[in-house]
Each structure stands twice: as structure tokens, then as C-alpha cells.
Amino acid sequence: MADGGGEGAPARIGAYVLERRLGSGGMGVVHLARTVAGRQVAIKVIRREYAESEDFRARFRREVAAARRVSGAFTAPVVDADPDGDPPWLATLYVPGGSLTERIDREGPLTAREAARVGAELAEALLDIHRCGLVHRDLKPGNVLLAEDGVRVIDFGISRALADSHRLTEDGAVLGSPPFMAPEQLTGDGEATEAADVFALGAVVAYAVTGHSPFEAGRLPGGDPLAVAYRVVHEEPDLDDVPDSLRGLVSLCLAKDPEQRPEVSAVLRMAAFADTRAQAAVVRSSQVWQAGRQERDTGERGGANESASDRTPTAPGRRPRRLGRRLALTAVALATVGVVATVGLLNATGDDGGTEQPSAEGPADPAPDEAPAPFVPWEVDLYDWGIEDAATSGVRCEPAPERGVLCSAAGRLTIMLNEDGSERWLHRGPRDGVLGPGATLVDGAVITQSETGLAALDPDDGEPLWEIDAPELGHILAVGERALALRNGDSTVRFYAVDSPEPLGRWEVPGRYVTDLLSGGDRFLAVSREDESGFAPQMTLLSSAGAPVWPTPVPPPAEALGTLHPVGMDADAAYFEEWDADIPVINRVHRLDLTSRAWTSVELPEPTEPRTVMADGVIYASTMGGTVIAVDPAAGEVLWTVATAVETASLPAAVDGVLYLSDAEGALHRLSAADGSPLDTGEPHPGSPGIGSGGSAPPPAIGDGVAYVPTLGNTLYATPLNEAD
């Protein structure tokens, strides 16, 4: 580091030339700097008087580690850092526009609509932060930068790992900014979890729209921090200046009890619609809102029974989620998206006409002489479990007989819902899992991702039964009658018994990549390629112990010009779709006979998206525009083509001679698998599409007389098939 002389700022930090001072905080000074090529960065330099303190150096190392782990549209990415330098420093991408504090000092408070947008963007930033296992703990207007394309959350100086119970304090002092700190941070009575960041978000939104903290006396920023801290802990916030359209959202976030604050994902949904007076009025008049207000005012608990997930260990630092916060209020016809978004927010313990909440174990068995209770349709919001967009999060559901429905999000989250839509149990996979294998029911167990590989969970309570150590687990998992097969590493497939972690064998293909696995009966088909891009595929049939069945691998059919991707497999054949070499559309489908190793190919009458399904030897290709093509690849012919009226069609599901697919509004459509003729259409379930979703909804899951339908609006609903509503 080169000094500029005297007490002035150094001319250079590392490889960066300092241009001017941007500001300062409790730990250091922030400078605008540039690289040799001219790119601007913001460099935070630890104050020299603190840099020699091991406590502050440890805190700064935490900041660097935290900031490196967080990425998202509304956080500032780390460019470079030297936490062990003299002095230590951290460089992030420079965000022009200044902080929220500077904007309000310069131009006054934001409008309600602007503040609602800031609240939504902050909620999305917190989702990214919490997904990394961190709590920010110092969200305040000065740490919110206003870029042209949205906010940027900065300064992870006192954030910490959720699993770390060590409190970062010095000589008993609590770190943070009292006007934006949660009561539990100030009193030290509880761990600072994600709920503390929700409290801060509410205070920041109130500040954005009024120009002052709801706990600052005289409605002026500043003042005695001890007096402000006292009001945060003991007094209700002053929200008189907060517009009606935002007051409900802010009030929810500022609940004294962290258990009564909404999840960040719910705040994101509320902020998205909380900029109109009419929608806010509907929210506050709903039973959900009134019940929550009554509970907060009286301090009463109760009403909703605990779910199984509340009795089982949760991630360290994560507050348990109560069943009442996720119960679908199916008896109430909620009039707007605003109310629907609020259903999962509050513990519905107010006057509900005496309706008994279902227990975590699911509905009680009827008495011997009583008829089973009729099925009641329900709908839940996937945001309540942190799923931001069903269309892009790898959501898949399957019926769980005698229990309800099992859903997962690419292995990162697995949840069992009871028949009434209440949560039976919840399992979170590895935080860094990306597009892993989804959960599935196998021989009395739920197989899903774990921190070490795969875990078998008890389907009744989610308790672990056994685990498979697979440190290089990929996204590939196939389940047969006697074995399950998984890819561990690029070129190795392991085989295990379906009911235990007993290893049965392994198969390796050195120098190639295993890209796909299919199962049919007690055999598996492995597809390997020269590289991960998909060239030169070879198909190898394997036994349940991993022994090759064929003497040599089978290449693709000669007429295939594009890339083959598997669709499914039965005891007789494996089925593939052929992608165009240049764009992701399907031109042909292929069938590989497992006995003769002969290919049968059928050209489609028109291209479709890569979204085919197979059932009873028939392949169904479809488009998001609603066209469905049925192909019999064994006979080498197209059976029928139908242009339905379904817009933004989901991936289809084919069960017992019926095709099921949902549309952009979440309505369930049923078609005859014999000829594609429409059978019936259910009612819309629009929800609110996830941010950035441009795909189609996952396929419906069809149980015994019930359809479980994930929607493009990021909800999941259950409807009886005889009514399809």
C-alpha cells in the first residue's frame, strides 16, 4: 500500500487507486477506487485503531466470508479482499446512486409505491442472504444503496452464520443501529435469526416512506440511541405517517415476538401488492389479519397445533415454522390475490367459528361406524417454504398414499403434506445443492438429498432411517424394483438396495461422462457421452448390481441428427426425444428395444418443446401453446395431434388413460389419452407468478381420486378428480 502523505487517505490499496472518500462506519472508511483498467469499486478499509484488535479482525474476516457467499440481483458482489492485510480491506462493485439515507436527505421520503418496491427488493436480497445461512443483523437505510435497476444491500460487517451461536459483541455492547434493530438483538434474550432482518426491513420501509424511524421521538432521525432502544423493546411503533397501503405490512414486520413476524418470502409477496389502498384494506379486513392482530394485542398463543417439523430438529438459528402459518383457509373465499398471499403469514388462532385445526399427524381416522369425511379442496403458497418460483426451482410432486402428497425442489427442500394440505414434516437438503435429484417414495421410505449424499426418511415423520455417503452426488438418481442407482462423480454409477444402504455394485466408464440413468423393472440404462455437452452418446444396459447386460454399448440411431435425451423406460424399451442441433425443440422421438437393441424412430408433424412424457408405451409430446402429439414409437406412427385451447400449458402427466395439464391461470385440464379430446376443465388458481418466471408449471401429481396441481402462480392446490375444481 502506498500512502498519500500525512493523515490523508492512501493513494493505493492493493492494486486499486483511491479516488475519494465515500463515507465511514463503525468499523472502517469506504473509498471510491478504480482498477488500472478504470473499473470503479468501493473499498472498505478497517480503521487502523481497530485493525490491531483480534476481535475486530475476526469480525472483518466474517464480513469477507459472508459477502463472498452472497450473490443475487440486489446484493453488491465482492470483487476482491485482503482480510489479513495492513490494514484489512474489502472491495465490492461500486453502485452509483448513493444510499437510501442520502436519497431521503436530498429529496425527501419516497412515495408509497416506491417504498413498496424497495421493500420487495430488500426481501429478495434477504432471501439470497438467508439462503447462504447468514443473518445480516444490520439492515438500515445507510446499508441500502439505490442503483438504477434496484437496491443493493451492503455491509455484512456484523452478519454471522446461522449455525454459530457466538455473539459478536465487545465489552457487552450490542452491535447494530437501534432504530432498525429487533428487540431480541437489543435485549440479548434470543438469537438473532432471519426474523431480526424482517424487523429491520419493516423499519427501513417505514423510514423510506416517512423519513424517520417508527421508534424515533419527534419523528426526526437521530436522538439518544438508548431511548430509541427502549422504545423498540417496550413501546409500539409510531406508524401514523405510514400510508394505509403499507401500514399493514410494516406492522407485521415490527411485531415484538419474532415468531409472529412473517417469513421473508411472504414479505416479498406482500410488498409486491402493498402499494394500493384498496388491496391493503382487503388484507386488514380478512380473518387472517384480524386473528393475527388479536394474538399480538393479547399476547395469547395457541389455536394451531405444532407440526412434526416443530418437534424435530431444525437448522441452527432458524425459527420453527408453526402449522397455523401454512394452513389453507379453504372455508373462506378470499377475494383478491392480496388476501391469498396473506393466508400463510399469520398464526390463524382468532375466532374461526370453532373450526378445529388438524393435528400434525394428519386427520384422525374416522370412527368405525362413521363414513370418511369428504375431501375438502385446499391451496397453499409455495413461498411459505422459500420456493420463489415453481417453474424454475425444480418443483416436483408425487402422491403419498394414506398420507397426502410429497413435494421437493430439486432436492434442496423436501416436504410431506397431509391430505388437508397441512405440513406433516419438512426436510432441507444441502444449501449448495443445485438441481439435485428430487425426492421420491421408495419401498416405504422417502429418498432425498442430504448433506452427505442421499438419505432415506420415514414417510410418517421425516426422521432419518439410513444414509448413503455420496460426496460427489450428481443430479442423477434412478429407482428400480430391487435397486437404486446414483451417479457419484462424472464417470461412476453406484448401486444400492432399495430398502437399505447395502451396496450392490458399481459401474464405471473411464474418460466419459454419465449424463442420464433410466430404470425399468430390475434393469437400468446408462447414457454416457464424450463430454458434458452431450456428443457421441452410448447406451449401456446394466443389471441391478451394475453388471453390463449387453456385450457392447449401443450408439444412437443413424437417422438422429440432433441430441438424444431420455424420456422414460419400461421392461421392454427405452424412449428418447431428439433435440434439434441448434435450438431446443423436439423433431423426433425414438424407441430402443432392450432385447433386439434395434431403434424405431418417428418424426413429429411439428416441432415441440423438450417436455415429452411416456406412459404405457406411448410418448406424448407437447408445446406450451397447448398442442399435444401422441406417438406410438413401437409401431412407428403418430396416433393423433390436438391443438388444445390451453395457454402456457404445464408439463403433462399421463395416468390411467387421461392426460392432465394446467394452464397459465392454474386451471386443470383433462384430455383423453386415446384421442386427445377434452374431458373437463377446472377453476383457475392464478396465484402470483414467481419473479423472472418464463417457463411452464410442473406436471400435476395424480393420486387416488385427487389431483395435486403446482401452478405457474407458485401455489399448490388439491382438487377431487370427480369435480376437477
Query: Which listed residue (138, 275, 384, 420) is catalytic?
Result: 138
Q: Are strands 464-469 and 453-457 parallel, antiparallel or unpaired?
A: antiparallel
- Type and span of the H or E element at 49: helix 48-51
What is the per-residue pLDDT for 412?
Answer: 81
Lowest mean per-residue pLDDT among 113-122, 210-219, 440-449: 210-219
Domains by residue range for the chain, with CATH: 12-93 (3.30.200.20), 110-261 (1.10.510.10)
Query: How high is the pLDDT of residue 97?
Result: 75
Set of cell numbers at residue 290: 384480524
Cα–Cα distances in Å, from 219 out to 138, 228, 255? 21, 12, 20
* Separation in Å, CA 290 to CA 38, 46, 343, 601, 666: 56, 48, 12, 61, 29
- Within 13 A of 469's CA, how many CA atoms are on the CB side? 0
Residues 481-494 have a mean pLDDT of 90
Question: Averaged over 169-176, what is the pLDDT?
Answer: 43
> Angle 530-533-537 (CA atoms, 0-180°, nearest 5)?
45
pLDDT exceeds cutoff 50 at 327: no
Question: What pLDDT is recorded for position 313?
Answer: 30
Give the pLDDT mean for 578-597.
Answer: 88
% of the chain at pLDDT higher than 70: 75
Question: Do 418 and 358 form a contact (C-beta atoms < 8 A)?
Answer: yes
Report the DSSP beta bridge partners of residue 613.
Answer: 620
Query: 36-50, 170-184, 386-400, 515-529: lowest mean pLDDT where?
Result: 170-184
Given this model, what pLDDT does residue 572 score?
A: 94
- Local confidence band at 338 (pLDDT 50, 70, 90 cut-offs): very low
Give the 3-state secondary structure of 587-607. EEEEEEECCCCCEEEEEEEEE
Highest mean pLDDT among 50-59, 154-163, 324-333, 477-486: 477-486
Give, in degrees to the nearest 5, the angle at Cα 194 between 192 and 199: 85
Q: What is the dihedral of CA 50, 53, 55, 57, to 10 degrees?
A: 70
Mean pLDDT of 58-68: 71
Who wins on pLDDT, 603 or 310?
603
Q: Is 164 a catalytic residue?
A: no
With cut-offs at 50, 70 and 90, classify the pLDDT of residue 247. confident
Please give the residue that has the higher pLDDT: either 549 or 610.
Answer: 549
Q: Are 209 and 115 in contact (CB under 8 A)?
A: yes
DSSP assignment letter at 296: H
More confident residue, 70 or 365: 70
Rounded to an integer, the average pLDDT of 688-703 is 79
Flag whether pLDDT at 12 surpasses 90: no
pLDDT at 200: 94
Query: String of b and e for 312-333 (b: at least 16 CB within 10 Å)?
Result: eeeeebbbebbbbbbbbbeeee
Q: How much is the average pLDDT of 115-124?
A: 88
Q: Find the range with the poorest average confidence among 299-303, 571-575, 655-659.
A: 299-303
- Which segment of 71-80, 236-245, 325-334, 521-530 scores lowest on mean pLDDT? 325-334
438/445 Cα distance (integer angstroms): 14
Write the CB contacts of 558 (distance below 8 Å, at least 6 apart in sequence).
Answer: none
**Number of other CB atoms surrounding residue 254 within 10 Å:** 24
Higher per-residue pLDDT: 398 or 368: 398
Q: What is the pLDDT of residue 266?
A: 77
- In residues, how long is the chain? 725
Cβ atoms < 10 Å from Cβ of 648: 18
Q: Provide mean pLDDT across the span 573-585.
A: 84
Q: Count the helices and strands in the chain (H runs, E runs).
A: 13, 41
Sequential DSSP letters for 251-276:
HHHT-SSGGGSPPHHHHHHHHHHTTS
Where does the pLDDT of residue 370 fall: very low under 50, low under 70, confident under 90, or very high at 90 and above?
low
Label residue 211 left, alpha or beta by phi (over 0 means left) and psi (-120 to 50 means alpha): left
Give the pLDDT mean for 517-543: 86
Please state, in angstroms and rounded to a whole number, the distance separating the CA atoms of residues 341 and 183: 27
- Give the H/E segment covering residue 84: none
pLDDT in tens, 38-55: 788 888 887 777 777 777
Strand 404-409 with 395-400, pairing: antiparallel
Among 68-82, 165-179, 302-316, 397-411, which is the least confidently predicted range? 302-316
CA distance 332 to 328: 9
* pLDDT score of 653: 95
SS3 content of the chain, % helix, strand, coil (to 5): 20, 30, 50
Question: Which residue, 523, 594, 524, 532, is CA-closest to 563?
Answer: 532
Using the CB atoms, write b or e for 417-439: b if 16+ within 10 Å: bbbbbbbbbbbbbeeebeebbbb
Q: What is the spatial distance between Cα 645 and Cα 580, in angstroms, rounded to a whole number? A: 26
Tell me the mean pLDDT in the region 421-432.
84
Contact 66, 134 (CB under 8 A): yes
- How sure is the predictor about 534, in pLDDT bands with cuts at 50, 70 and 90? low
Give the separation between CA 263 and CA 261, rounded to whole angstroms.
7
Those residues whose C-beta lies under 8 Å from the C-beta of residue 472, and which sit 6 or more positions away, are: 488, 489
Residue 378: pLDDT above 70? yes
DSSP 367-419: PTTSPPPPP--EEEEGGGGT---TTTTTEEEEEETTTEEEEEETTSEEEEEET
Question: Who's near 100: CB < 8 A, 6+ residues apart?
Answer: 118, 141, 142, 144, 145, 146, 151, 204, 207, 208
The three grid cell numbers given for residue 446, joined into one nine-digit string: 422417502
User: For the ranges 286-300, 399-413, 438-452, 602-616, which has the lowest average pLDDT?
Assistant: 286-300
Q: What percent of the chain has pLDDT over 90?
A: 36
Query: Exposed (0-12), middle (13-18) or buried (19+): which is 278, by Cβ within 10 Å?
Result: exposed
More confident residue, 470 or 317: 470
More confident residue, 430 or 286: 430
Tell me what the mean pLDDT of segment 125-152 comes to.
Answer: 85
Please, are residues 329 and 343 in contact by the beta-carbon 8 Å criterion? yes
3-class secondary structure per residue, 21-48: EEEECCCEEEEEEECCCCCEEEEEEECH
421 phi/psi in degrees, rounded to 5:
90, -5
Q: Is residue 301 very low, low, confident or very high in pLDDT (cuts 50, 70, 90)?
A: very low
- Residue 497 CB coordination number (10 Å): 14
Band (pLDDT 50/70/90 cuts) for residue 165 is: very low
Whether 594 has a pLDDT exceeding 50, the answer reads: yes
| pLDDT of the residue at 290 | 45
- CB of 486 within 8 A of CB of 504? no
Indicate the range of 149-158, 161-170, 239-248, 325-334 predicted with least confidence.
Answer: 325-334
pLDDT mean across residues, the chain: 77
The residue that leads in pLDDT, 43 or 285, is: 43
The total of other beta-carbon atoms located within 10 Å of residue 472's CB is 11
The C-alpha atoms of residue 24 and residue 573 are separated, in whole angstroms, by: 68
pLDDT digit string, tens, across residues 352-367: 333 233 333 444 444 4
For residues 290 and 295, give the distance between their C-alpha atoms in angstroms, rounded to a whole number. Answer: 9
Alpha carbon distance 666, 724 (integer Å): 12
pLDDT at 329 over 70: no
